[in-house]
Amino acid sequence: MIIIIDFGSQYNQLIARRVRENHVFCRIEAPGAALEAIRCHSPQGIILSGGPSSIYETGSPKIDPAIFSLGIPILGICYGMQFMVAALGGKVERAQKREYGFAQLSVTHPDGLFKGVRRDTTCWMSHGDSIQQLPPGFHATASTANTTFAAAFDTRRKLLGVQFHPEVDHTPMGAVMLRNFLFTICGCKRSWTMKSFAKETIREIQQTVGDKRVVLGLSGGVDSSVTAVLLHQSIGKHLTCIFVDNGLLRKNEAVQLKHSLRQHLQINIRFVNAAPLFLKALRGVTDPERKRKIIGRIFMAVFEAEARKIKGAEFLAQGTLYPDVIESISAFGGPSSIIKSHHNVGGLPKRMKLKLIEPLRYLFKDEVRQLGEQLGITDDLIWRQPFPGPGLAIRVLGEITARRLTILRNVDEILLEEIRKGGFYKKLWQSFAVLLPIKSVGVMGDARTYENIAAVRAVTSRDAMTADWARLPHELLARVSNRIINEVDGVNRVVYDISSKPPSTIEWE
Ligand code: XMP
C-alpha cells in the first residue's frame, strides 16, 4: 500500500488513480495524520503531494518531519519536495513568480526514478518556491533551464523529490517514473485487484458487523446497489435494504428494480410505497428548491420510520465514494464522512445511534462498476445512468400532477427505448425527457390541437461538473419525436435541448 499525504494539490485524485492503475492500493491522508496511524498501515511508500501554498506561508500544511526517519521510501512532488528539502536542512527560496507550464527536463542520472526515461523529456511544472540547496545526502538527478534541482534523490534513505508533476498527462514519461517509484524503489507488488478488494472488504464487514443488523437506503443507482450486494455477500440476511418509492420514478422502475434485486440477488428489501405522501405534499408547488426540500424531508421521515421497525439495527450502510471523502479530507483537515445529498439521511445515524458503514469509501466510480461486475451484478444495474433523488419532480416543470407525471413517463419510456436501440445508452451520461409548463398549437388529422411540449435532453459528461449536449443522429431524433407525438396522448411538440453545462445545467430545474 502507498500513502499519499494531501497537501492540497488539485492533482491528488490523479496521483491516487495513477497508483491504482498499477494495481497498488493507496489511500490519501491529511497532513495532520499521526505517524503512528501511518505506520499502522505498513505502507511500502509515501507520496507527499503538491499544493498551492508556499512553505513560508503561515498556516501552510505540515507533516511531522519524523516521517523522513520511518525508513519508508518517500516521493515528494512539488510542494511535497520543497517541504522535504526544508525539513531536512536544504534551502528553499520564495520565488517572485510561479513557474507554470511545460519545461524541458534534462535527466542527469538515468537510474532510480528515471530508469528507462530519455535524457531529454518534457515535464509539467506548477510551483512557486524554488530549491536553492539540497539537504545533506541528496544529489540532483534532473534539471531544467530554471532549476538545477528539478529532481533529487537520497539513495541511502530512499527519499526522492521532483519539482514537476509526474501524475499529469503533460509529463509524458510521468507514468514510467511513478512505476519506477512503486516497483523498483518501494518494492510494491501488483496485487490490488477488484477481486482482492471484494474479498478483503467482505471479511472486514463480517468482522465489523458480527451478528448485528445493517440498514441500507437503496435508490437503484449503481453505488447503493453495489453496496447492497457487497453487504449481502458478507452478512446475508443481516442486511435489510429500504427502497422508498416516492411516486417520482420512471415507468416500471420500481418493478424492474424489485425484480433485479430481489429475484436475481435475493437481497432482503423492504419496499415502501410512499407515493401518495410525496404527491400530496408537492401539490401546487412549482419552485424547484421547494420541491427538493419537501422531497428530502419526506424521504427522511419515511426512511426513519421504516428503519425503526428493524429490530436490533446497529449500522447504517451508505454508498459514499472516494471523491466525496477526499473532498472532506481537504476541507476539514481530516477524514470525515459526508452524506450524499442524493439519499440524504442527514442526522439519522446520530438520532438512531447507528454506526456508519461505507465500504466504497476508497473507490472511484469506475472502480465501483468493476467491483459490481466482480460481484456478479447485471449490466443493466451497473451501467444505469444517474437519476436525481427528486426524480421526475424536477422534470415535470411547474406543478406536479398525476396526469403530468404519466405523460412524462410515457414520453421518457419511448426516448429510452430508442436510445437503447440505437446503442447510445452507455455512451451518454444521461438521457431523459422534460415536460414543459407551456402548451403549443398543433394539427392532428383535420383538427387543431393545443397540447404539451416535451423536451429531450441527452448529454455526454465525465463527472457531471461539465456536460455537452449529445450530437445524436437526426434520424434517431426524428424517430423519437415521431413516436412521442403519435403515441403519447397529451403531447403535440418535441424539442431537443442543445445547451451545454455551463452555463446551463443538466436538469432543467
Ligand atoms: P445539474 O442539473 O446540476 O446536475 O447539472 C448535475 C447532476 O446531478 C443530478 N442532480 C441531482 N441529483 N438530487 C440528486 O440526487 C438533486 O437534487 C439533483 N439535481 C441534479 C443531475 O441529474 C446530474 O446528474
Per-residue pLDDT tens listing for the chain (509 residues): 999 999 988 888 889 989 999 999 999 898 988 899 899 999 999 999 999 889 998 989 999 999 999 999 999 999 999 999 999 999 999 877 777 889 999 999 999 999 999 999 999 998 888 899 999 999 999 999 989 999 999 999 999 999 999 999 889 999 999 999 999 999 999 999 999 999 999 999 999 999 999 999 998 889 999 999 999 999 999 999 999 999 999 999 888 888 877 766 678 899 999 999 999 999 999 999 999 999 999 999 999 999 999 999 999 999 988 877 766 555 444 333 333 333 445 677 888 889 999 999 888 888 999 999 999 998 888 999 999 989 999 999 999 999 999 999 999 999 999 999 999 999 999 999 999 999 999 998 889 999 999 999 999 987 777 889 999 999 999 999 999 999 999 999 999 999 999 899 999 99
Alpha carbon distance 201, 180 (integer Å): 29
CATH number of the domain where residue 29 is located: 3.40.50.880
Alpha carbon distance 133, 284 (integer Å): 70
- What pLDDT sits at residue 217? 93
Same-domain pairing of 358 and 420: no
Distance 388 CA to ligand 1 centre (A): 5
DSSP 180: I
pLDDT for 169-190, tens place per residue? 889 999 999 999 999 999 999 9
The protein residue whose alpha carbon is closest to atom 18 in ligand 1 is: 388
Same-domain pairing of 444 and 363: no
206 within some domain: yes
CATH number of the domain where residue 436 is located: 3.30.300.10
In the beta sheet, which residues pair with residue 432? 457
Strands 468-469 and 447-460: antiparallel
Same-domain pairing of 136 and 280: no
Amino acid of residue 352: M
Residue 474's alpha-carbon distances to 121, 365, 431, 454, 497, in angstroms, are 45, 31, 16, 17, 13
Strands 491-496 and 468-469: unpaired
Alpha carbon distance 227, 413 (integer Å): 27
Name the burial class of residue 82, with classes exposed (0-12), middle (13-18) and buried (19+) by CB atoms within 10 angstroms of its CB: buried
Mutate to test the pocket of ligand 1, among 287, 345, 392, 507 (most ligand atoms within 8 A of CB): 507
Q: Which of 130, 153, 185 is where one domain is finished?
A: 185
The protein residue whose alpha carbon is closest to atom 9 in ligand 1 is: 388
Alpha carbon distance 47, 267 (integer Å): 41
Q: Which of 185, 215, 242 is where one domain is finished?
A: 185
Phi, psi dihedrals of residue 470, rounded to the nearest 5°: -80, 135
Q: Which residues contact 384 (CB under 8 A, 6 or more apart)?
A: 220, 221, 222
Residue 43's alpha-carbon distances to 1, 95, 323, 354, 361, in angstroms, are 5, 34, 21, 31, 19
Same-domain pairing of 171 and 198: no
Residue 178's alpha-carbon distances to 108, 147, 189, 272, in angstroms, are 18, 21, 14, 50
50 within some domain: yes
Same-domain pairing of 116 and 218: no
- What pLDDT sits at residue 341? 38
Distance 461 CA to ligand 1 centre (A): 13
Name the 3-class secondary structure at 31.
coil
CATH number of the domain where residue 230 is located: 3.40.50.620
Same-domain pairing of 60 and 127: yes
Q: Where are the alpha helices (DSSP H) in 244-321?
A: 253-258, 275-282, 288-308
Evaluate whether 488 touches 495 at the Cβ level (below 8 Å). no
Alpha carbon distance 234, 208 (integer Å): 11
Evaluate whether 152 touches 160 at the Cβ level (below 8 Å). yes
The protein residue whose alpha carbon is closest to atom 12 in ligand 1 is: 388
- What pLDDT sits at residue 134? 98
Atom of ligand 1 nearest to the CA of 342: 15
Same-domain pairing of 367 and 485: no
**Among residues 24, 20, 29, 136, which one has the least CA distance to residue 89?**
136
- What pLDDT sits at residue 191? 93
Same-domain pairing of 8 and 90: yes
Name the burial class of residue 18, with classes exposed (0-12), middle (13-18) and buried (19+) by CB atoms within 10 angstroms of its CB: buried
508 within some domain: no
Same-domain pairing of 178 and 199: no
- What pLDDT sits at residue 351? 83
Same-domain pairing of 201 and 310: yes
Phi, psi dihedrals of residue 369, rounded to the nearest 5°: -65, -40
Which range marks the domain in which residue 24 is found? 2-185
Atom of ligand 1 nearest to the CA of 467: 5
Q: Annotated active-site positions, please?
A: 78, 165, 167
Q: Which of 132, 153, 185 is where one domain is finished?
A: 185
Strands, E assignment, 95-157: 99-107, 120-127, 130-133, 139-143, 151-154
Same-domain pairing of 244 and 156: no
Evaluate whether 394 touches 291 at the Cβ level (below 8 Å). yes
Alpha carbon distance 267, 211 (integer Å): 17
121 within some domain: yes
Is the N-terminal amide bond of 502 cis, ω within 30° of 0?
A: yes
Task: Tell me the Cα Rg of the chain.
Answer: 27
- Concatenating the DSSP letter of every residue in 72-101 gives --EEEETHHHHHHHHHTT-EEE--SS-EEE
389 within some domain: no
Where b means 16+ CB within 10 Å and e means fewer, 431-467 reads: bbbbbbeeeeeeeeeeeebebbbbbbbbbbbeeeeeb
The protein residue whose alpha carbon is closest to atom 21 in ligand 1 is: 388
What residue ranges line ligand 1, CB within 6 angstroms?
A: 292, 341-342, 386, 388-390, 430, 464, 501, 505-507
- What pLDDT sits at residue 255? 86
33 within some domain: yes
Other Cβ atoms less than 10 A from the Cβ of 94: the count is 11
Name the burial class of residue 124, with classes exposed (0-12), middle (13-18) and buried (19+) by CB atoms within 10 angstroms of its CB: buried
Same-domain pairing of 171 and 223: no
Q: Please tell me the total count of domains within the chain.
A: 3
- What pLDDT sits at residue 209? 96
Distance 295 CA to ligand 1 centre (A): 14
- What pLDDT sits at residue 146? 87
